Amino acid sequence: MTFKFPKLDALLYVCNRIVSRIPNHTIRCGFYRKVMHFQIEKSSFIFMGAFFYSPGNFVMGANSIINQECRIDPRGGITLGRFVSISAETCILTADHDPSSSDFAGRTAPVVIEDYVFVGTRALILPGVTIHEGAVVAAGAIVTKNVPPFTIVAGVPAKPIGVRNRDLNYTINYGRWFW
């Protein structure tokens, strides 16, 4: 077995197995900003147990939350807007393999989650998706296509089931010291 990326593997091990379990948000986010090169606004929170697939390519707007045990794959680029709430155990992917490729080639596509989006527990967001302003992704949904503004989607694959109030004016700020 040949190890092609020992420094990257070591960095991801430290990030995902050690730092993500430190019960202090300030220390974790300091590591994410300085070592992983993530752009995280100071008013945003990443709870314990978040698992990242690579350094860089991650932007998190003001007053946003990533809850515990989420899997975040920024290889293709992830942008979270302001007032975004990502619930526990959500998975956001930006990379996959082309099943039609003779050599199973990898490919990436960015994920964009705009302002005031709420993503329910254990949702899966696939590469290349944009979830537009004010949209809601129900728990357990698999998002394979863009979600229009203020649309509520659910199911596998996610389909529109409702419309959200357009007069959104709230702040997400429930970070906890030991989460």
User: What is the set of active-site residues?
Assistant: 97
Partner residues linked to 163 by β-bridges:
151
CA distance 125 to 142: 6
Angle value at C-alpha 127, between 76 and 152, nearest 5 degrees: 130
CA distance 17 to 176: 20
Enumerate residues 6+ apart whose C-beta is below 8 A from 30: none
Q: How many CB atoms lie within 10 A of CB 153?
A: 23
